[in-house]
């Protein structure tokens, strides 16, 4: 996760992989090789590798970044539901060479921090390299907000998370859980079923709403469930789902399922809730 304040403005270029930003909090102007794009809370912003860009926050920002180093991000195969599920590709927004972009043209010396092979080099230009006057093609930064996503659902069956895949990387997927009606059939399970991730490590980032399958979860938290360990809804959430008191979910969350085994950073270990494993016990 990244946090930005109003004073920060970085010019960067990642040659190791595509970057997918999810804007958890805040809003900003993003300037890149393709022009200018306004970004705000709830936006996914996909930045292709080797794109030069910087972000100018209007307020403090909290951003989840998912790096895809093996291949380019793609949209999932929609199968029989068609090209317009789970969102119409026409809602994808791209940067524009607008007046805000032209206003930042500059002949001032500008540094670009370039990441390659996991190392960062600094290249100094005698001008601002974000000086495009136009572009052509189908490679670009793109933006879509979670509010544009229309979830698949069934009144009789709780669909597996893969039904909510939003982006596909090499060896992993990014899914988005958005508000939807809860299953209405009397015999349907209204909460996620208990399961073991046999092939994937699972990371969930909680963005907003009432996270009905978990107790004591707040926006901005992350959970990690490695492959081979069974998990599912907490006991209280399971009972509430069986009683079917709620008619819809109002949670928004980002899930990353990866076949690559994930490792903790030192920073993650410092904020780990050591008691999380006991949260499935009856109280």
Q: Give whole-number Cα distances, 73 to 19, 45, 60, 69, in Å.
A: 9, 11, 28, 10
- What is the C-alpha separation between 9 and 58, in angstroms, rounded? 11
| 0.85 surpassed by pTM | yes
Is residue 283 domain-resident?
no
Is residue 211 domain-resident?
yes
- What is the C-alpha separation between 52 and 12, in angstroms, rounded? 6
User: What is the structure's pLDDT at 249?
Assistant: 82
Does residue 120 share a domain with residue 190? no
Does residue 142 share a domain with residue 6? yes
E strands, 134-231, are: 142-145, 165-169, 172-177, 180-181, 195-196, 201-208, 222-225, 230-231
Among positive and negative, which fits the CA dihedral 270, 274, 275, 279? positive
Of 99, 115, 146, the domain-final residue: 146
Q: Mind listing the pLDDT tens digit for each residue in 12-52?
A: 999 999 999 999 999 999 999 999 999 999 999 999 999 99
Q: Is the pLDDT of residue 243 over 70?
A: no
Query: At a CB cut-off of 8 Å and minimum separation 6, what does 164 contact?
Result: 86, 151, 152, 175, 176, 177, 178, 255
Q: In the chain, how many domains are there?
A: 2
Q: Mind listing the pLDDT tens digit for each residue in 71-108?
A: 899 999 888 888 888 898 899 999 999 999 999 999 99
Does residue 183 share a domain with residue 170? yes
CA nearest neighbour of 114 among 14, 9, 8, 10 = 14
Backbone phi, then psi, for 13, in 5-degree steps?
Answer: -150, 120
CATH number for position 8:
2.60.120.10
Q: How many CB atoms lie within 10 A of CB 44?
A: 25
């Amino acid at each position: 996760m990244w946090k930005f304040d109003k004073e920060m403005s970085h010019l960067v270029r990642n040659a190791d992989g595509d970057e997918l930003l999810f804007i958890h909090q805040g809003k900003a102007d993003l300037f890149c090789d393709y022009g200018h794009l306004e970004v705000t809370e709830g936006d996914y912003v996909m930045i292709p590798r080797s794109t030069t860009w910087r972000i100018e926050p209007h307020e403090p920002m909290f951003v989840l970044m998912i790096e895809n180093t093996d291949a380019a991000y793609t949209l999932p195969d929609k199968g029989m539901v068609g090209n317009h599920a789970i969102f119409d590709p026409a809602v994808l927004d791209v940067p524009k060479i607008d007046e805000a972009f032209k206003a930042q043209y500059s002949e001032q010396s500008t540094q670009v921090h370039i990441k390659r092979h996991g190392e960062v080099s600094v290249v100094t230009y005698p001008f601002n390299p974000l000086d495009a006057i136009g572009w052509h093609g189908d490679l670009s930064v793109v933006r879509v907000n979670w509010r544009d996503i229309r979830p698949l659902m069934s009144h009789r069956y709780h669909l597996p998370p893969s039904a909510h895949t939003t982006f596909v990387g090499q060896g992993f997927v990014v899914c988005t859980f958005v508000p939807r009606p809860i299953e209405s059939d009397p015999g349907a399970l209204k909460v996620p079923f208990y399961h073991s991730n046999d092939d994937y490590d699972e990371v969930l980032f909680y963005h907003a709403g009432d996270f009905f399958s978990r107790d004591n979860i707040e926006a901005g938290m992350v959970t990690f469930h490695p492959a081979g360990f069974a998990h599912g809804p907490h006991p209280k959430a399971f009972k509430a789902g069986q009683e079917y008191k709620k008619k819809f979910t109002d949670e928004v969350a980002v899930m990353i399922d990866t076949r690559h085994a994930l490792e903790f950073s030192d920073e993650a270990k410092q904020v780990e809730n050591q008691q999380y494993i006991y949260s499935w016990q009856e109280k």
